[in-house]
Structure 1
Amino acid sequence: MRMVSDDQIQKWADEAEAGYDVDALKRRGRGRPGRGAEPAQVVAVRLTAEELDALDAAAAKNHMSRSEIIRAALANFAA
């Protein structure tokens, strides 16, 4: 754990009080990259430990992330 000095806190406070350039902050490309023209929805799904293990195994076998393997499975199911 790194300790923050009173001097650093004061610098952050001074910076905040001076204000931020909102346009510059928006240009920084913060957040996850988009997946298309429209915003994507986040869907929460509850999985058992066994289901999660199977999902992770399938993702690793195919060199994919959890999200990628779930999207591939949904595309296959919907086809």
Structure 2
Amino acid sequence: MNDKDFSTPTSGGVPITDDLVGRLADEAEEGYEVTDLRRRGGRRPMGSAAADVVPVRLDPELRAALVRRAEYEHISAGEVIRSALRAWLDVA
């Protein structure tokens, strides 16, 4: 390997040249069709709107029981809590 190998920035192994930067800038200035852009992950929606985070304090025994139930059911602790609240509050 020579010094050139370390000094040339790449994107996914493709060298970033002035020509490439110019082409990408021209493409960006033309604009993108939003529906054609790929989703980059993130959390799936839960319900009809964005979900709120609600902090809750749990004593060690309740926390341990929650973790045991989540492991037994092969689901997250949050899903155990949501399921229990739905059943207790009688909501879908």
Q: Give TM-score scaled by structure 1 length.
A: 0.61
* One-letter amino acid of the counterpart of residue 61, structure 1: Y
Q: How many residues align?
A: 72
Q: How much identity, in percent, do the aligned residues show?
A: 33
- Could you tell me which of 25, 34, 42 is aligned with 2:45? 34
Tell me, yes or no, if structure 1 residue 48 matches structure 2 residue 55.
no
Deviations 1:9-51 (A, max 9, x none): x769x8xxx8788x5xx73333211112311111111112222
Structure number with greater Rg is 2
Unaligned runs of 5+ in 2: 1-5, 17-23
- RMSD of Structure 2 on Structure 1 (CA): 3.3
Moved over 6 A (4+): 18-21
Map residues 1-79 of structure 1 onto 2, 5 A cutoff: 7=7, 27-79=38-90
